[in-house]
Structure formats: structure tokens, C-alpha cells
Structure 1
Amino acid sequence: MSGGITRLKEHLANQAGNVAPCPKVSSDVRKEMRNLLDNFKAAKKDKAKRAQEFEEEMVGSYRHTQYDDDEEDDDIDQRLAHERYQSWMQHEADHRRPYRQFAYGEGGSRLTHNCIGQGPSKKQAYLPEAYKEMKGYIKTLAPIWDERGVTIMCDGWTGPKDMHVINFLVYSVRGTIFHKSVDASNVLREDENYYFKLMKDVVEEIGPQRVIQIVTDNEAAVKLGGKKIMETYPHIYWTACAAYCLDLLLEDLGKRKSIHAVIEQAKEVSRFI
């Protein structure tokens, strides 16, 4: 038998379908495993039912509430859309699905889509209003950026089907905000000049006088691009990400025979569980 903990339970419960029944399991263990599987199925159905009830409640409350003031109607629509969006986000997180459907930002190749779903409003989606609200919040950070400066953080992400997204975040004493993402999936050559241009564009968008340093991973092309930034803007420092460097260090340690054997055994245990 191969597979995870669920198939092991099905094997011990003599539940046909995915695995062969265990001929040696005791009746007590078989009964316990069947109870565990039944409880899991019941919990799964209950979760789906509650999600459907929430959806129906939100739509029903919207349809039975009418206002003469169009501006107030828009405000209610936006709140409803926000609730549906948050519910969708939680649903995605529970199922560990990639978030690539909705976050490319103003510098990406395409904007957010299909986040809120088929809402009851004629306008369907209120993401532009949320975007406008967030832009307004970012403007309130300008004084502290001018006074204390910011750090630009660059991080790449590779997903399914060779998708490559480069994220840019801005850190200040008021916290970190997402600036934009760039879809680099179809870029043929990601050399130092490519990364230099990306970083230079972000510096100009934020304001060179505000930027103190840029933090990236330690990849050769990114590193050279960071050095070009320092040459172009003498007051800006390029810094390698400490977490990335530690990750490389641990990977090198993991290549030692004695450590590699332990890691492989741990992987087998993890895959089984």
C-alpha cells in the first residue's frame, strides 16, 4: 500500500475504493477507523453547508435592502463585495491554492480579476474602489517616507507552469506595503540589465530621495543589478537578504552525507503523515 494517512485509515477500516482491505485488522481498530472517516466526511459536508449558508445570507440580505440614496447603495455594495472577497480568500487559504489569480498590481502585465465572483450588483466587482482606497492610505505615508526613508524589498516567486512573478514591497517605520508585481514568465533573458531596470523603475516610482537601500536575494544577476543601482544612486545601498543567505547555508549543510541521510528519512515520515 502506498499513500497518506487517509488511505491508511481506509485500509484499516476495510473501506473499498482506493486501497485493498487489511485482512489482519481487529474489529475494534476497524470500527475506530470507520468512525474517524465518517467524522471527517461529516465535518467536510458541514463546512461546505456553512459556506453555502453564508453566501445565501449575504446575497439575501443585499436583495432585501433597498436605499434611495445611490451613494449609500454603492457603500453597501462595496461592503458586500469586501465580505465575499474575504470569504474567498479564506477558502483559497484552506485549500492551499496559489494566489496568482489576483495579485499583479499596477506594474504587472494584467490587473486583479475574478476575486469577488458573481455578485448580486450590476457592477459585479468593486476592486477599483478598494484599489483607490489603498492608494489614498499609501499617500498618508508620504510624510514619514520623506522624513525617515524606506527600504525596497524585491522577492521572486516561481509557480506552476513556469510562472515567474517578481514582487516589490516598501518597508518603513510605519510598516510594509505591497508596491507591485511584475510577471517575468515570458522574459527570455533575466540578466543584470533586466533587474537593474526593474529596480531603477521602482526607485523612480517611490522617489530616489526616499530610498535608503534595496534588499534582494543573492542571485548573481540580481546582485550585479543591485551594484549598478549603487553606481547610479550613490546614496542607496544594495543588501543581500539575510534569510536567503541562511537558506543557502542550510542547503549546503544539507548536502553533507550524514545530514542528507537524516533529511531524507524525515521527508519519508513527512510524506507518510
Structure 2
Amino acid sequence: MENLQEDIKKKDIGWNYGRMVNPDKIVDGIIYNFCQKVTKGGITRLKQHLVGGFKNTKLCPKVPAIVKQEMKDHFEEKLAQKTVMDSIPHFDDIFDITEEQGDDIDSHKDPSSIKRSTSISSSANSSILQPKKPRQLGPINAFFKLEAKNQGGKGPQFNEVKKKLSSDAAQKFARWMYDSGIAFNAVKYDSFKPMIEAIGQYGPWMKPPSYHEVREPLLKEEINHTMLILKQNKEEMAKNGCTLMADGWRDRKGRSLINFLVNTPKGSMFIELVDASSYSHTGEKMFELLDKFVQKVGVHNIVQVVTDSASNNVFAGKKLMDKYPNLYWTPCAAHCLDLMFEDIFKMPDLKRALERAIIVNGYIYNRTMLLNMMREFTGQRDLIRPAKTHFATAFLTMRSFQQHKQNLRKMFTS
């Protein structure tokens, strides 16, 4: 028959780092493996000694960092499971989480009643400790054991509990979005899913960040993270070269703006926004502006320069290639496609059809009652109106009329 020490080593993770003075009597005390201290406080006292931060014990001066982290994770997991238990009525009557996880043996239970489970075995005289880090569990994992205890339809079902918790969390999150006026497409950001997962792994007792934290320390950490990404982009730029891109556009005030960006295999990096409203938009002016950013990024770092295919940019691109033989000027593919769309609608039949669509569109949208009637027939859907630069929107406008053709016919014949 195995002695008491070998039996209880399979009971609690703390026994990997301590042993009983008397293998047959725990009341004689426990020896700590690292500092060789002897105490009669039980296995919980040993674990508190290894992790530190408790009033009734001091941190072991010789505990390895990996063991300290293991004990910290162990306490956090137990606290998470206890929090879930407390939130469910009569949860302790369904199953005993302490018995399953292996708490201390200060209650002096009969060793024959202790269930044996696999754990990490270690020798008291081992010079190198390589403990296995416990698997990180969230509070919902405790319900798996609840379902296993659930027999004959007694107690709440796991799927029902999980569904209720998920629904409640989603509703409260949506309410926060509505109160804050956050756009719905924010849930499509790449950073959204990791945020939800991190909150779930921490547990229900997580304290939300304060106004000061999101405004000061957390913002500074995110800035440092962004600077690290930019640093990686710059290293990639120096190693494999980059593309300098100039994207011109007009804002609502009619200002002519140009975004300058650098693209590498690591991604795109914004450099500067230039207000080019005062420029005459000649080829010489554009050449001077592009030349300025080529020198700012580094001539030897740039493989190509991409702009739209306007005549002034074509002239500036050719001058850049004459001055810097190591780089190429490339017209923007999207702008080339836009120009192709524009040429397509210069064909007589298509041009006439588009002009008629624009007239009908303007006739409807300039009359409030007629616009309301149209929405009744189209199921509250609007027609797509051509923009000032109607390259691709011309196709979208015609497609919109094609989709609502039957509804518009019903409206005009009603």
C-alpha cells in the first residue's frame, strides 16, 4: 500500500514543490523544496509561500520565476471557478470544485477518500525543475463539470447556461455601443476579436479601464506598439525596398489634398498629408513635390513611385526616372480602370442611356412626395446617384436602375 505522501502528491499541484517531514503523518509538518523551510501550515501555505502577496506568509526567496507564475495561474483559475460557482444557486450541491482541483489537506481527510488524478511528478532533490504550465481556463469551463454531474435532467444544462451568458454579454456590449455612438462596422476590425477573447480569459471580476488609463498610460502603450510596427516597416523598407504612393483627393471643402504613403511587404505606412490647393498642378510642381518625398524616404529605399495617370503626374514620373535611374514610375491601376469606365460611357448608346438615368434620378430626388412614393415601391431603398467623378458610379447608377426596374415601372403606372 502506498504511503500517505505518495497518495496526496496526486492530489494538489503544490506537492510538486514540498514534501512531508514524516511520510505517514502530515501533522508533523512540510518541508519546502527550495528554501528547506519547515512549516505545519498545510499545502495552501506552501503555495502562498511560492507566489507571495499573502499576509500570513512571505515570498520564498529562492523560488524560480516559472514556478511563481505557475502558482499565480493556479490561484487565478481557482478564483475564476469560485466566482462562477457563487453566481449559480446551490452550485456547491451539484459538485465540489475544490475536490476536483485539489485544494490543501488541512482538513485532514482520510487519504483513502482522496481521488487520484494525474499531476506533474518531481523529485525533492531535483536540481532542475521544469514544471508544466497549467492550461488557461475561463470561468465558463467550470460548467463542463457541471454538465458531467448532471444526470437524469437534474440541474441546469451546460448549453442553456452558455447560451444565456453569451446572450447577456452580447446585449450589454451592444448597449454600450449604442450609448457611445460607435459605428456598427467597428465589430469588423481585426482588433475586436482579440479584445473579446482577452476579457473572457480574464474572467468576470475584471475591472474596466478608467478614463485616465485609456487617456494616458494605455494610449502611450499603443503609441509604443505603433512605433514598433513602423520600425519593422522601416527595417523591411531598407532590406527589400518599398513603393512610394501619392493618392490625390478632394475634401468636402473643395481642397485638393494628397496622401503620401510607403508600402512594403509588411504593410502600408502613412507619411504625410499635403494640402496642394495652392499648387498650379503643373508637371514641374508635382515633380518638385514627389522629389521632396523621394529624398525624405531615401532614394535607395524606393523601388517605384505610384501616382494616378493624369498628364501632370505622367510628366513628373518621367522626370523622376531621368533623375533617379534606380526607381520606376507606375500609373495607378485603379485610376486606369476609372479612365476606362469613363471612355466606355462616351459610347453614344451608353452615353444616352446614362443621361436619361441622371434626368430621372434628379426628377425623383427633387420632389419630396415622389421620393417618398419611390421608397414605398422599392422597400425603402434608394437609387444610386452619380457622383461628380462618375467613372465607376456610372455603372453603379445603371445597375441600380436595372435592379429596381419593375418597381419603378409600377410606381409610374400606379
- TM-score calculated relative to the size of structure 2: 0.35
Moved more, 160-169 or 259-268: 259-268
Q: Of the candidates 262, 266, 270, which is equivalent to residue 353 of structure 2? A: 262
Moved more, 158-167 or 168-177: 168-177
Q: Deviations over 1:175-227 (max 9, x none)?
A: 22222211223x14222222122212221222111101101111111221111
CA-CA distance at 1:153 after TM superposition: 1.3
2:323 partner letter: T
Corresponding residue number in structure 1 for 2:242: 150
1:117-132 to 2 correspondences below 5 Å? 120-121=211-212, 130-131=222-223
Which structure has the bigger radius of gyration?
Answer: 2
Corresponding residue number in structure 1 for 2:259: 167
Q: Deviations over 1:34-77 (max 9, x none)?
A: xxxxxxxxxxxxxxx98874587xxxxxxxxxxxxxxxxxxxxx
> How many correspondences in the alignment?
169
Corresponding residue number in structure 2 for 1:138: 230
> d(CA) in 2 for partners of 1:181 and 1:160?
16
> d(CA) in 2 for partners of 1:54 and 1:242?
38
Q: Alignment partner of 1:226: what SS?
A: helix
CA contact (8 A) 2:306 2:331 kept: yes
Corresponding residue number in structure 1 for 2:332: 241
Segments of 4+ moved more than 6 angstroms = 49-52, 125-129
1:261 partner letter: R
1:1-273 to 2 correspondences below 5 Å? 53-54=176-177, 90=183, 120-121=211-212, 130-131=222-223, 133-185=225-277, 187-264=278-355, 268=361, 269-271=383-385
Higher relative contact order (CA 8 A, sep 6+): 1
CA-CA distance at 1:147 after TM superposition: 2.5
Q: Alignment partner of 2:300: what SS?
A: coil
Unpaired runs of at least 5, structure 1: 1-48, 57-83, 94-118
CA contact (8 A) 2:233 2:267 kept: no
Q: Quick one: structure 1 residues 137 and 235, their matched pair in 2 at CA, closer, same or farther if it must change by over 3 Å?
A: same
Q: Alignment partner of 1:160: what SS?
A: coil
Give the fraction of aligned pairs with identical amino acids, expressed as a percent.
33
> d(CA) in 2 for partners of 1:92 and 1:227?
41
Unpaired runs of at least 5, structure 2: 1-171, 187-209, 362-382, 386-400, 405-414
Corresponding residue number in structure 2 for 1:37: none
Corresponding residue number in structure 1 for 2:91: none
Q: Deviations over 1:108-158 (max 9, x none)?
A: xxxxxxxxxxx9449967877755542331111233222221111111011
Corresponding residue number in structure 2 for 1:108: none
> d(CA) in 2 for partners of 1:223 and 1:245?
12
Moved more, 215-224 or 263-272: 263-272
Q: Quick one: structure 1 residues 193 and 121, their matched pair in 2 at CA, closer, same or farther if it must change by over 3 Å?
A: farther
Q: Quick one: structure 1 residues 55 and 243, their matched pair in 2 at CA, closer, same or farther if it must change by over 3 Å?
A: closer
- RMSD of the TM alignment (CA)? 3.3
Q: Quick one: structure 1 residues 52 and 257, their matched pair in 2 at CA, closer, same or farther if it must change by over 3 Å?
A: same
- TM-score calculated relative to the size of structure 1: 0.52
